[in-house]
């Protein structure tokens, strides 16, 4: 028996060690109380919180959960992170437990106090471990405890959840002893930061406190010749006024982009490059193209897939064969001259897509958008029928695009990372199994009603208010009323002039509200602030405070300044009669041009009837660097040049084309007979005239053109001068002649000659010897077919 | 530990350089009614933090004691209506209003004009936020006031609050059953 026990003990030693190991492991296990995960282009931050205590009830925490999620997810239901704009979702899971000991391991544990009225209550969380550094990593996942009040609103809860995601308070509490001297100046006798502990008192902090005292002074809350102790708090320097972690009074608090970035960056979360696909911007180096960008980034005859790859354009079931034959169209096709037929090509328009000419049946549409070819008087836009778009002069349904009636399923569809459409709402059948509907973003979803505040109809069932628009919501697949920030400038407030401190002097600052994208969901109020500097130069101050200094828009330390006078001066005034210059704009375009550095440009503002300098970003094939980011291809003759004085650069190259060609061929046969033997003198004379145009955007050096008259008449070369972009060469004329005497009579006798024909082909090849590198080496040749006379 | 000893040990542990030491004020609340006599004593302390702790606890305990004790609390907190510290003055007014003493209402209305931060609030809270919460709770009025807009946009609402008080201060009646004020003209 004893032996058996010993044996079992010995046998069980490994199990015992294993149990100990498991217990040790569990005590250090990383529970996902706050966690972050990435799936494709969606990042989800999850926070689990269990509540207990007298004040906890289900309706309260439901309300908290919704309000806190709404605040963190923002008005669009998600936030954005990273260059490729991944969507960040905040998911807060809140539950009630009976007591502190019942909190699940993977939940933070917070007590809710039952506070009878809206009495003051200190709500807090104690993270127990260093917050703010990668909360998804071992040592930082220690459970938080804390205490809320049942009177706390969703904003307070959202603030505390910010701590659970590693964010710090963005305010500091201070206690300051100060004196308002008889001359109005302020002496700070003692300043203590009472929260957060250990925060250093920097110059910025002192400045914030001094500004606060200045406000007390201007509001008459303190008076000269007295000393005070003031306990208050202020935003930390650099914090946003509307930050939920700063809780600055007078602002509607929300999560800032800085918060989103901090949460993601400190957890080493990344937004993959592939997420740039479909963001409406072609991101070179990260994708071949972007299907929602205009242009997409693909070359001609290629379309951009939803995977941001350029592929040859193929419409399912409508495969087409592309031919590269080139014909010429003449607006004045034939001129008949007695005894001679001359093929004349004037005002030649090459049948090229974008030339503003509908070359039916080859072209189904033409947007007249070619920079060179559309530059003629008859150019028109030929649109497609409704429901189709013009792509490379063909009217097509853009496939794959959600809602085009096609269900796009790329190769390997269904595998991770391979995107496609589950269905298409316009396809019949839609592609969804029974009981599911196809959403507007081509996903199959259970046929459920839209959540509260969302609608299935495009007009939001007429529920949108005057300042709202009905917009599609990608998250829910429903429509919702989206607030329009402004419809006109006056919606953004009035023009405000106020006195401010700068460089210890008083300046008059003007704040002009401007409504950008008015009346659209993208509308936003922005403010132009002027009055301190213009064109990089400091303006003269309104009031020089020397030897005193400026505080809250007034000079202090100046003997002549009285409290009453100062208070009056610092009142914010509103005015509507101002010059353009008063508003930081310009009354003339030339004045604006002088101050506006490219690529920014001067734009006329209808509302204020002034010119202002609008910031311009280079895009759509343009570069901000003068070397075009090294993207130019020298084998195509590309060099990087500034684009139309915009301050943006693009790759340009020359491109030679034979844009005008005409030919005349005359044949003659002269028969003379002797002793019944006839001989005929056969002769040919021909003239070929042509011009060459540089249709590229870069000047081209002198080149050589070749002219060939077939059959068997001859081949000549002709020098062509250097040409600027768009420039046409002088008319080149070449003469050909052939002579031969043959046995026989009449023209029939000449037909034995290889150069005698009823039809000739005159061909001109620009840059025959490939002296210059061009954008397109395949468009140098052109021909006409003169009939001989 | 006796209530007084416990209260003293807590308030003597307050360290203005260490905010978390003030979290222990909840332990005074947990003492309940037996703490009231000592808290009333503390209202007369020269130490602002001791007064703050007394008011914090009385604001919670005061709702759990009988009417006679409530009236005693009111009589003492009214002495702080002139305190030099805004948070002390405002909290005293808030407690009085919540226990049926309407004379605290104009003090709360006055602080609708201040976005200064309340002493030891966590997270930070403005005087205006506290005022509107108490006023809204006991009068069911708001007059369009919001702490989330700039102060100059709140002037109209503040004016309405002032007018409302001027019109109704004599007729306002505390209803202890529903713990609200009645007898006022709704439209100001």
Q: Closest Cα of chain A to B168: distance in Å?
A: 23
What stretches of A83-242 adopt beta strand conformation (E)?
A: 86-96, 108-113, 124-126, 145-149, 171-180, 186-195, 226-235
Using CB atoms, which residue from B25, B116, B123 is nearest to A232? B116
Taking an 8 Å cut-off on Cβ atoms, the answer to whether B123 and A160 are in contact is yes
Contacts of A753 (CB under 8 A, 6+ apart): A682, A738, A740, A742
Higher pLDDT, A353 or A536: A353
Residues A254 and A259: their CA atoms lie apart, in Å, by 10
pLDDT at A322: 32
Most confident of A624-628, A649-653, A702-706, B180-184: A702-706
**Domain extent for A180:** 171-235
Structural domain includes residue A405 = no
In this predicted structure, the answer to whether residue A179 has a pLDDT above a threshold of 80 is yes
Q: Closest Cα of chain B to A607: distance in Å?
A: 25
Taking an 8 Å cut-off on Cβ atoms, the answer to whether B16 and A156 are in contact is no
Domain co-membership, A544 together with A578? yes
pLDDT at B71: 94
CA distances from A102 to A202, A615, A662 (A): 45, 57, 95
pLDDT at A118: 62
The last residue of one of the domains, among A129, A164, A199, is A164
Domain co-membership, A464 together with A515? no
pLDDT in tens, A189-207: 889 888 888 888 888 899 8
Question: Looking at beta carbons, which residues of chain A come within 8 Å of B22?
Answer: 122
Taking an 8 Å cut-off on Cβ atoms, the answer to whether A115 and B60 are in contact is yes
CB contact residues (below 8 A), chain B span 78-137, against chain A: 85, 87, 91, 94-95, 98, 115-126, 128-130, 133-134, 136-137
CB contact residues (below 8 A), chain B span 163-182, against chain A: 179
Tell me how many residue pairs between chain A and chain B have CB atoms under 8 A apart.
96
A746: CATH: 2.60.40
Question: Looking at beta carbons, which residues of chain B come within 8 Å of A53?
Answer: none
In this predicted structure, the answer to whether residue B107 has a pLDDT above a threshold of 90 is yes
Question: Looking at beta carbons, which residues of chain B come within 8 Å of A113?
Answer: 26
Domain co-membership, A51 together with A136? yes
Closest Cα in chain A to B63: A116
Instruction: Of A147, A141, A180, give the one whose Cα is nearest residue A164.
Output: A141
Taking an 8 Å cut-off on Cβ atoms, the answer to whether B149 and A169 are in contact is no
Higher pLDDT, A769 or A73: A73
Closest Cα in chain B to A212: B116
Establish if A233 touches chain B: CB-CB under 8 angstroms: yes
pLDDT in tens, A362-386: 778 887 777 666 767 777 888 777 6
pLDDT at A15: 46
Q: Please provide the CATH number assigned to the domain covering B3-182.
A: 1.25.10
Instruction: Of A147, A144, A184, give the one whose Cα is nearest residue A164.
Output: A144
Instruction: For A635, list phi and psi in degrees, rounded to 5.
Output: -70, -15
pLDDT in tens, A559-604: 333 333 332 223 333 333 567 777 777 888 888 888 777 667 777 7
Question: Looking at beta carbons, which residues of chain A come within 8 Å of B26?
Answer: 113, 122, 147
Domain co-membership, A606 together with A712? no
pLDDT in tens, A385-414: 765 667 677 776 655 667 777 777 765 666
DSSP string, chain B: --HHHHHHHHHHT-BTTBGGGGGGHHHHHHH-GGGHHHHHHHTT-S-HHHHHHHHHHHHHHTTTS-HHHHHHHHHHHGGGTT-SSHHHHHHHHHHHHHTT-GGGHHHHHHGGG--PBPTT-SS--BHHHHHHHHHHHHH---TT--TTS-GGGGHHHHHHHHHHHHHHTTT-EEETTTTEEES--S--
Taking an 8 Å cut-off on Cβ atoms, the answer to whether B148 and A251 are in contact is yes
Taking an 8 Å cut-off on Cβ atoms, the answer to whether B60 and A119 are in contact is yes
Residues A129 and A123: their CA atoms lie apart, in Å, by 18
Instruction: For A173, list phi and psi in degrees, rounded to 5.
Output: -95, 145
Domain co-membership, A223 together with A133? no
CB contact residues (below 8 A), chain A span 102-121, against chain B: 113, 115-120
Residues A223 and B91: their CA atoms lie apart, in Å, by 25
Establish if B24 touches chain A: CB-CB under 8 angstroms: no
Establish if A160 touches chain B: CB-CB under 8 angstroms: yes
In this predicted structure, the answer to whether residue A466 has a pLDDT above a threshold of 50 is yes
Domain co-membership, A714 together with A683? yes
pLDDT at A387: 58
CA distances from A394 to A106, A324, A380, A616, A748 (A): 58, 15, 16, 33, 48
Most confident of A296-310, A534-548, A716-730, B73-87: B73-87
Taking an 8 Å cut-off on Cβ atoms, the answer to whether B19 and A196 are in contact is yes
Structural domain includes residue A443 = no
The last residue of one of the domains, among A483, A507, A526, is A483
Higher pLDDT, A44 or A559: A44
- Total tally of structural domains belonging to chain A: 5
Closest Cα in chain A to B25: A122
Establish if A175 touches chain B: CB-CB under 8 angstroms: yes
Instruction: Tell me the pairing of strands A478-483 and A537-538.
Output: unpaired
Instruction: Of B91, B9, B18, B93, give the one whose Cα is nearest residue B48.
Output: B91
Question: Looking at beta carbons, which residues of chain B come within 8 Å of A231?
Answer: 85, 87, 117, 119
pLDDT at A196: 87
Q: How many residues does chain B have?
A: 188
Domain co-membership, A38 together with A160? yes
- Is residue A189 packed enough to be buried (19+ CB in 10 Å), middle (13-18) or exposed (0-12)? exposed
Q: What is the dihedral of CA A103, A109, A115, A117, to 10 degrees?
A: -110
Contacts of A643 (CB under 8 A, 6+ apart): A622, A649, A650
Taking an 8 Å cut-off on Cβ atoms, the answer to whether A253 and B133 are in contact is no
The last residue of one of the domains, among A461, A483, A505, is A483
Taking an 8 Å cut-off on Cβ atoms, the answer to whether A119 and B124 are in contact is no
Residues A110 and A49: their CA atoms lie apart, in Å, by 7
Count of CB atoms situated within 10 Å of the CB of B106: 16
In this predicted structure, the answer to whether residue B122 has a pLDDT above a threshold of 80 is yes
| Helix, strand, coil % in chain A, rounded to nearest 5 | 15, 35, 50
Taking an 8 Å cut-off on Cβ atoms, the answer to whether A252 and B152 are in contact is no
Establish if A251 touches chain B: CB-CB under 8 angstroms: yes
Domain co-membership, A51 together with A148? yes
For helices B86-98 and B67-77, what crossing angle results, to 10°?
150
Q: Closest Cα of chain B to A630: distance in Å?
A: 50
In this predicted structure, the answer to whether residue A134 has a pLDDT above a threshold of 60 is no
Domain co-membership, A505 together with A554? yes
**The token pair that represents A652 in the structure block:** 């340009």
Question: Looking at beta carbons, which residues of chain A come within 8 Å of B123?
Answer: 123-124, 156, 159-160, 169, 171, 247
Higher pLDDT, A313 or A41: A41
pLDDT at A412: 60
Q: Closest Cα of chain A to B21: distance in Å?
A: 11
Q: Closest Cα of chain A to B74: distance in Å?
A: 15
Using CB atoms, which residue from A119, A231, A247 is nearest to B119? A231
**The token pair that represents A629 in the structure block:** 């980011």
Residues A66 and A91: their CA atoms lie apart, in Å, by 10
């Amino acid at each position: 028996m004893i032996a058996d026990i010993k044996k079992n003990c010995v046998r069980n030693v490994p199990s015992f060690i294993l149990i100990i190991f498991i217990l040790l492991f569990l005590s250090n296990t990383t529970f996902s109380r706050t966690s972050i995960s990435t799936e494709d282009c969606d990042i989800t931050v999850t926070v689990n919180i269990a509540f207990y205590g007298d004040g906890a009830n289900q309706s309260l925490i439901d309300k908290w959960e919704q309000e806190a999620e709404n605040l963190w997810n923002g008005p669009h239901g998600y936030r954005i992170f990273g260059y490729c704009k991944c969507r960040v979702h905040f998911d807060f899971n809140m539950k009630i437990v009976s007591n502190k000991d019942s909190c699940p391991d993977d939940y933070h544990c917070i007590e809710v106090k039952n506070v009878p009225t809206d009495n003051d209550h200190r709500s807090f969380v104690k993270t127990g471990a260093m917050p703010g550094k990668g909360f998804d990593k071992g040592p930082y996942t220690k459970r938080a405890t804390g205490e809320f009040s049942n009177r706390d609103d969703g904003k307070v809860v959202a603030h505390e959840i910010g701590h659970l995601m590693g964010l710090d308070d963005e305010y500091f509490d201070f206690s300051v002893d100060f004196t308002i001297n008889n001359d109005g100046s302020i002496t700070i006798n003692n300043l203590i930061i009472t929260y957060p502990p250990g925060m250093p008192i920097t110059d910025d902090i002192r400045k914030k406190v001094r500004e606060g005292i200045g406000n007390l002074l201007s509001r008459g809350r303190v008076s000269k010749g007295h000393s005070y102790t003031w306990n208050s708090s202020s935003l930390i320097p650099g914090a946003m006024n509307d930050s939920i972690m700063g809780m600055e009074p007078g602002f509607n608090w929300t999560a800032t982009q800085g918060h989103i970035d901090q949460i993601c960056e400190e957890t080493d979360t990344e937004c993959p490059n592939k997420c740039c696909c479909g963001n409406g911007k072609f991101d070179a180096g990260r994708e071949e193209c972007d299907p929602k960008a205009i242009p997409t980034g693909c070359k001609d005859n290629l379309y951009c897939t939803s995977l941001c790859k350029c592929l040859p354009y193929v419409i399912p079931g409508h495969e087409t064969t592309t031919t590269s034959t080139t014909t010429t169209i003449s607006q004045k096709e034939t001129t008949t001259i007695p005894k001679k037929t001359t093929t004349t090509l004037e005002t030649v328009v090459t049948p090229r897509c974008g030339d503003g000419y509908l070359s039916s049946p080859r072209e189904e549409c033409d947007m007249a958008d070619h920079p060179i070819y559309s530059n003629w008087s008859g150019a028109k836009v030929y649109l497609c029928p409704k429901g189709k778009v013009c792509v490379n002069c063909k009217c097509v349904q853009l496939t794959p695009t959600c809602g085009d009636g096609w269900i796009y399923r790329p190769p390997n569809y269904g595998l991770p990372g391979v995107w496609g459409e589950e269905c298409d709402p316009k396809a019949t059948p839609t592609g969804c199994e029974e009981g599911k509907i196809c959403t507007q973003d081509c996903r199959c979803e259970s046929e459920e009603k839209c959540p509260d505040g969302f609608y299935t109809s495009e007009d939001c069932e007429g529920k949108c208010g005057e300042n709202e628009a009905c917009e599609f919501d990608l998250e829910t697949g429903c429509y919702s009323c989206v607030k329009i920030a402004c419809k006109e400038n006056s919606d953004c407030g009035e023009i405000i002039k106020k006195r401010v401190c700068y460089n210890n002097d008083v300046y008059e600052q003007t704040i002009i509200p401007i409504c950008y994208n008015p009346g659209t969901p993208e509308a936003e109020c922005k403010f132009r602030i002027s009055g301190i500097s213009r064109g990089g130069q400091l303006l003269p101050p309104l009031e020089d405070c020397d030897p005193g200094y400026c505080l809250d828009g007034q000079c202090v330390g100046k003997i002549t300044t009285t409290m009453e006078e100062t208070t009056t001066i610092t009142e914010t005034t509103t005015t509507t009669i101002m010059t353009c210059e008063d508003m930081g704009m310009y009354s003339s375009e030339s004045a604006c041009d002088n101050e506006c550095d490219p690529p920014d440009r001067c734009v006329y503002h209808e509302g204020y009837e002034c010119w202002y300098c609008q910031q311009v970003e280079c895009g759509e094939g343009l570069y901000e660097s003068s070397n075009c980011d090294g993207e130019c291809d020298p084998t195509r003759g590309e060099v990087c040049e500034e684009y139309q004085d915009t301050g943006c650069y693009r790759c340009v190259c020359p491109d030679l084309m034979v844009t005008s060609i005409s030919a005349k061929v005359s044949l003659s046969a002269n028969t003379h007979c002797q002793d019944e033997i006839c001989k005929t003198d056969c002769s040919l004379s021909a003239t070929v005239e042509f011009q060459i145009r540089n249709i590229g955007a870069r000047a081209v050096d002198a080149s050589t053109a070749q002219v060939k008259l077939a059959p068997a008449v001859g081949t000549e070369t002709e020098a062509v001068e250097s040409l600027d972009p768009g420039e046409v060469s002088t008319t080149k004329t070449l003469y050909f002649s052939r002579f031969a005497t043959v046995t026989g009579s009449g023209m029939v006798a000449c037909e034995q000659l290889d150069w005698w024909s009823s039809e000739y082909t005159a061909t001109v090849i620009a840059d025959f010897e490939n002296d210059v590198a061009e954008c397109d080496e395949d468009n140098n040749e052109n021909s006409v077919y003169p009939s001989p006379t | 530990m006796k209530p007084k000893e416990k209260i003293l040990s807590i308030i003597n542990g307050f360290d203005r350089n260490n905010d978390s030491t003030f979290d222990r004020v909840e332990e005074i609340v947990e003492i309940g009614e037996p703490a009231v006599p000592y808290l009333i004593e503390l209202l007369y302390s020269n130490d602002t933090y001791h007064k703050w702790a007394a008011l914090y606890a009385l604001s919670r305990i005061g709702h759990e004691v009988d009417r006679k004790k409530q009236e005693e609390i009111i009589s003492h907190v009214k002495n702080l209506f002139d305190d030099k510290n805004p948070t002390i003055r405002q909290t005293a007014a808030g407690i009085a209003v919540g226990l049926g003493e309407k004379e605290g209402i104009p003090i709360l209305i006055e602080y609708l004009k201040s976005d200064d931060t309340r002493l030891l609030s966590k997270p930070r809270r403005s005087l205006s936020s506290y005022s509107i919460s108490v006023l809204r709770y006991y009068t069911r009025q708001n007059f369009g006031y919001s702490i989330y807009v700039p102060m100059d946009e709140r002037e109209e609402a503040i004016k309405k609050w002032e007018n409302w008080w001027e019109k109704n201060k004599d007729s306002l009646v505390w209803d202890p059953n529903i713990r609200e004020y009645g007898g006022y003209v709704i439209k100001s």
